């Protein structure tokens, strides 16, 4: 079994609820965590993306940028947690 990919999303607390509702409509694509970390002064929410669903997830996020306040979307390759300045 492959592990989920981790992404970090910069957005507001209000927007994460909207984004979570949309992502949840795509069964098995991703899971949005409501807890957050602060990196370089930005509130970043963790999203677990199912193995094999990364392209679909990124397409949905691109469409969501039209209706939601979405900042940085960073794939966590174990670097962001170890070095928040990267």
Q: What is the pLDDT of residue 80?
A: 44
Percent share of the chain, pLDDT over 90:
77
Strand order in the sheet with 42-49: 30-39, 42-49, 5-10, 73-76
Q: Which domains does the chain have, with CATH numbers?
A: 5-76 (3.30.70.1440)
pLDDT digits (tens, 9 = 90+) for 60-85: 999 999 999 999 999 988 544 444 44
How many other CB atoms sit within 10 Å of the CB of residue 30?
A: 22
Q: Count CB atoms within 10 A of the CB of residue 37.
A: 14
pLDDT at residue 78, rounded to an integer: 55
Q: pLDDT averaged over the chain?
A: 88
pTM of the model: 0.83
Q: Is the pLDDT of residue 49 over 60?
A: yes
């Amino acid at each position: 079994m492959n592990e989920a990919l981790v992404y970090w999303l910069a957005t507001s607390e209000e927007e994460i609820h909207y984004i979570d509702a949309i992502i949840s409509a795509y069964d098995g694509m991703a899971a949005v965590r409501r807890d957050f970390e602060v990196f370089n002064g930005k509130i970043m929410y963790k999203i677990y993306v199912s193995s094999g669903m990364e392209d679909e997830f990124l397409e949905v996020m691109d469409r969501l940028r039209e209706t939601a306040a979405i900042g940085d979307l960073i794939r966590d390759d174990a670097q962001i947690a170890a070095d928040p300045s990267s």
